Amino acid sequence: MTMNVQQIRLERVEFESVKPFDEVIGIVDEAIGHPDMRILTERLTTADTYAEFERAVKSAVGKADLLEFLRLDLGRALWIDPEIKPYRLVRIIAGNPLIMKEMTRHVPDAGSYAPVTLLIYE
């Protein structure tokens, strides 16, 4: 086994909003799909054809063409620690297996960047 180290240039996109935290979460929730991941995983792993796989993904994504894989309440650790001024902080791991397929088609390393993290904080 060999290990290669590569430096790459990344872009981080940040949006600032004057809207309340709950409203921003609501906007994100409306835009991404929230499938039952057990059912979706079963459909994806048992798909016999690409068309079947594609239908399963397309039925799970929201209008932003993304689906939520995982949501982490990172702010909980801030709220529980009396030494820290708490604020709300949520990390949503979202993506689309069809987009990831295109990203990694010729460059497998691109899989390191799919899915994406949406970090929403007050």
pTM, rounded to two decimals:
0.85
Whole-number pLDDT of residue 110: 86
Residues of the chain with pLDDT under 50: none
Whole-number pLDDT of residue 40: 97
Contact 52, 32 (CB under 8 A): no
Half-sphere exposure of 26 (CA within 13 A, CB side): 5
The domains of the chain, with CATH numbers, are: 21-121 (3.30.310)
Whole-number pLDDT of residue 114: 85
Edge-to-edge strands of the sheet including 67-73? 67-73, 89-95, 116-121
Whole-number pLDDT of residue 70: 96
Q: Which residue has the tokens 């397309």?
A: 58
Strand partners, 73: 90
